[in-house]
Amino acid sequence: MRERDERIQVPANGTALEVLLTFLKLGLTSFGGPIAHIGYYRLELVEKKRWISENQFAQLLAICQFLPGPASSQFGFSVGLLRAGWLGGIAAFLAFTLPSAVLLVGFASLVPHLSGTMGVAAIHGLKLVALAFVANAVFAMNRQLCPDPSRQTVAVVAAATVLVAGSAQAQVFVILLAAVAGLVICRNVKALEHESVKVRYGVIAGWALLATFAALLAISLMQTATGNHGWLAVSGAFYRAGALVFGGGHVVLPLLEQTVVAPGWVSSDQFLAGYGAAQAVPGPLFSVAAYLGAQLPGSSGGVGGATLALIAIFLPGFLLVSAALPLWRVVSTHPAAVRAIAGVNAAVVGVLAAALYDPVFTSAVNSAVDVAIALVALLLLVSWRRSPLIIIAWCVLASVAAASLDLR
């Protein structure tokens, strides 16, 4: 089955419009945070569209795990870039991010209405959606990327290490060790030229992008958190937050609190309201920057502030992943690199399996009823291959019904 999948990959050349439409669907339906996004991506881009192979999927995921920034958004940007060039990358970013950004700007006033029993149950249902999608991704990727005992061992050790360590930094450490392990134990893995990650620009452009990232970071670090909330201070503050956070998603929120609350730009209550809203919308958690930008005082806020904050927080991550891709392309077909990549791919499965347990399972499952709801969702996804919208509707409605009947 694996060889068949590799032969029927859709050609890499595509259009920005098809990227836009594909990621708009993902941006409207990808509930559950960055870990869940991986499951949505894999279903749409590997299984349905066949834009990338399982191996390429794992390579991109490993690259994005290494880099600071919003990993799931960097992954989507990379796929758009590979599929349709720079316009494809921009289209993927806009389509995946704007739905949540627009909702977060307008959703803050509705947050108090989600504090009741039914509102909490609806948000809990979205966590069960994430559980089903991540579980499906783990099982499928394990079949493809851990076909032998050596790589299965790497995956298990990676999962155990991440669970014990319990930090985003541990994931980077585990992937590095897995690359070394792959060099030693994955000697029978052969290079597949069409399985490498290919971009439409070279190493020189990659170094230029890296230099741009570093120059903008240096400028932002020279600024200090003050009461000044002009466009330069705002863009520097949000760029700094996007450039210095490892682990993405929830990890950026404490840093953002220091960015906007400490200088008095946004109150603590406003910040917490935005955090609550970010849990209830699809798309990347980094989109909370749009809410915070809109809340800035005076003329710095509103739509202009939301747009500036959104661009500034995502830009460093996109510059970094764009710089990394051509460099990865140079080394990824070397025999030693192929073995290292095999180890990294296995570790990615382990890291995702660890995330399936904590935080996905631990935060979503509070009772046997939750297990039943998630199992039905997994059945709809795997056996019946229903639309994500149907699975979302099932989990939310079932969670609300369970809460109303006091079954938990």
Write down the domain spans for the chain: 223-318
- Is the pLDDT at 4 greater than 60? The verdict is no
Q: Which residues contact 19 (CB under 8 A, 6 or more apart)?
A: 79, 80, 83, 84, 88, 91, 92, 95
300 vs 320, higher pLDDT: 320
- Give the C-alpha separation, 22 to 370, whole Å: 30
Q: Please count the other Cβ atoms lying within 10 Å of the Cβ belonging to residue 247.
A: 19
pLDDT tier at 336, thresholds 50, 70, 90? confident
- Is the pLDDT at 41 greater than 80? The verdict is yes
- Give the C-alpha separation, 284 to 148, whole Å: 34
pLDDT tier at 12, thresholds 50, 70, 90? low
- Is the pLDDT at 248 greater than 60? The verdict is no
Average pLDDT, the chain: 84
- Is the pLDDT at 206 greater than 50? The verdict is yes
**Whole-number pLDDT of residue 9:** 42
Amino acid at 88: G
Q: Mean pLDDT lowest for which of 66-75, 130-139, 329-338?
A: 329-338
pLDDT tier at 274, thresholds 50, 70, 90? confident
- Give the C-alpha separation, 64 to 76, whole Å: 10
- Give the C-alpha separation, 175 to 61, whole Å: 11
- Is the pLDDT at 261 greater than 70? The verdict is yes
Across the range 271-286, mean pLDDT stands at: 77
- Give the C-alpha separation, 341 to 56, whole Å: 10
- Is the pLDDT at 365 greater than 80? The verdict is yes
- Is the pLDDT at 316 greater than 70? The verdict is yes
Any idea what the Cα angle at residue 329 is, between residues 326 and 330, rounded to 5°?
A: 95
Are residues 108 and 269 in contact, defined by beta-carbon separation less than 8 angstroms?
Answer: no
Are residues 141 and 349 in contact, defined by beta-carbon separation less than 8 angstroms?
Answer: yes
**Residue 143: both structure tokens together:** 């079949």
- Is the pLDDT at 296 greater than 80? The verdict is yes
**Whole-number pLDDT of residue 209:** 96
- Give the C-alpha separation, 381 to 365, whole Å: 18
- Total count of residues recorded for the chain: 408
Q: Mean pLDDT lowest for which of 271-280, 368-377, 384-393?
A: 271-280
- Is the pLDDT at 207 greater than 90? The verdict is yes
**Whole-number pLDDT of residue 184:** 92
Q: Which residue has tokens 């929120």?
A: 253
Across the range 358-386, mean pLDDT stands at: 91
**Whole-number pLDDT of residue 176:** 87
Across the range 129-138, mean pLDDT stands at: 87
pLDDT tier at 1, thresholds 50, 70, 90? very low
pLDDT tier at 110, thresholds 50, 70, 90? low
pLDDT tier at 204, thresholds 50, 70, 90? very high
Instruction: Give the residue from 39, 115, 29, 28 showing the smallest Cα distance to 360.
Output: 39
Q: State residue 250 phi and psi, 5-degree precision.
A: -65, -25
**Whole-number pLDDT of residue 10:** 42
The CA distances from residue 19 to 33, 61, 316, in Å, are 21, 18, 22
Q: Which residues contact 268 (CB under 8 A, 6 or more apart)?
A: 257, 261
- Is the pLDDT at 308 greater than 80? The verdict is yes
* Most confident residue range from 30-39, 59-68, 149-158: 149-158
> What does the pLDDT look like over 92-108, one tens digit per residue?
999 999 999 998 887 64
Q: Which residues contact 4 (CB under 8 A, 6 or more apart)?
A: none
**Whole-number pLDDT of residue 294:** 87
- Report residue 301 CA to chain centroid gap: 27
pTM given for the model: 0.78
408 vs 176, higher pLDDT: 176
- Report residue 203 CA to chain centroid gap: 25
Any idea what the Cα angle at residue 281 is, between residues 131 and 286, rounded to 5°?
A: 95
- Is the pLDDT at 306 greater than 60? The verdict is yes
pLDDT tier at 2, thresholds 50, 70, 90? very low
* Most confident residue range from 74-78, 110-114, 275-279, 387-391: 74-78
**Whole-number pLDDT of residue 11:** 45
Q: Is 295 strand, coil or helix?
A: coil
**Whole-number pLDDT of residue 88:** 95
**Whole-number pLDDT of residue 66:** 76
Maximum alpha-carbon separation in the chain:
63
- Is the pLDDT at 6 greater than 60? The verdict is no
Are residues 154 and 343 in contact, defined by beta-carbon separation less than 8 angstroms?
Answer: yes
- Give the C-alpha separation, 14 to 327, whole Å: 23
